[in-house]
Amino acid sequence: MTKWVLSLLTASFVALPASRGQTPGPPSDAPVIITPAKVEILHPGEGYPDDTPAPGQPIEGEHEGAGPLRFWFRGEYLLWFTKDARFPPLVTGGITTDPLPGVIGQSGTSVLYGGKIDYQDRNGGRFALGYFFNNKNTLSLEGSYLFLGTRQFDVSFTSPSTSPGPLVIARPFFNAVTKGEDASLVGYPGVISGTVTVSTSNFFQGAEANLSFNLWRGAKARLDGLAGFRYWGLEEGLGIFENTTVSPTSPVFAGNNIRVNDLFTTNNNFYGAQIGMRGIVQWKRLDFEFLAKLALGYTQDILNVRGSTFIDTNPITQVNSGLLALSSNSGRFSHSEFTAIPEANVNLAWNITDHLKLVFGYTFVIWDGVLRPGEQIDRTINPNLISTSATFNTAGGPARPAPLLRTSDFWAQGFNFGIELRY
How far apart CA 236 and CA 85 sit, in angstroms, is 10
The angle at the Cα of 361, spanning 344 to 83, to the nearest 5 degrees, equals: 55
3-state helix, strand, coil in the chain (%, to 5): 5, 55, 35
Report the chain's terminal Cα–Cα distance, integer Å: 36
216-270, pLDDT tens digit by residue?
999 999 999 999 999 999 999 999 999 999 999 998 999 999 999 999 999 999 9
The pLDDT of residue 237: 98
Report yes or no: 220 and 281 within 8 Å, Cβ to Cβ. Answer: yes
Closest of 328, 305, 137 to residue 217, by C-alpha: 137
What domains can you pick out in the chain, each with its CATH number?
Answer: 67-422 (2.40.160.20)
Residues 6+ apart with CB under 8 A from 123: 77, 78, 79, 148, 149
173-189, pLDDT tens digit by residue?
999 999 999 999 999 99
Stretch (H or E) spanning 16: helix 16-19
User: How many C-beta atoms lie closer than 10 Å to residue 26's C-beta?
Assistant: 10
The pLDDT of residue 344: 98
292-327, pLDDT tens digit by residue?
999 999 999 999 999 999 999 999 999 999 999 999
The tens-digit pLDDT sequence of the chain (423 residues) is: 444 333 433 444 334 344 344 444 444 444 444 444 444 444 444 444 444 444 333 434 444 444 568 999 999 999 999 999 999 999 999 999 999 999 999 999 999 999 999 998 999 999 999 999 998 899 999 999 999 999 999 999 998 655 566 789 999 999 999 999 999 999 999 999 999 999 999 999 999 999 999 999 999 999 999 999 999 999 999 999 999 999 999 989 999 999 999 999 999 999 999 999 999 999 999 999 999 999 999 999 999 999 999 999 999 999 999 999 999 999 999 999 999 999 999 999 999 999 999 999 999 999 999 999 999 999 999 999 999 999 999 999 999 999 999 999 999 999 999 999 999
pTM of the model: 0.82
How far apart CA 398 and CA 198 sit, in angstroms, is 27
Report yes or no: 324 and 375 within 8 Å, Cβ to Cβ. Answer: no
User: How many C-beta atoms lie closer than 10 Å to residue 288's C-beta?
Assistant: 14
Closest of 187, 183, 110, 196 to residue 155, by C-alpha: 196
Q: How many CA atoms lie within 13 A of 318 on its CB side?
A: 2
- Per DSSP, helices labelled H in 228-379 are none
Helix (H, G, I), strand (E, B) or coil at 408: strand
Report yes or no: 188 and 173 within 8 Å, Cβ to Cβ. Answer: no
Cα–Cα distances in angstroms (integers) from residue 238 to residues 68, 154, 208, 350, in the given order: 52, 10, 29, 43
Cα–Cα distances in angstroms (integers) from residue 3 to residues 8, 12, 15, 38, in the given order: 9, 14, 18, 14
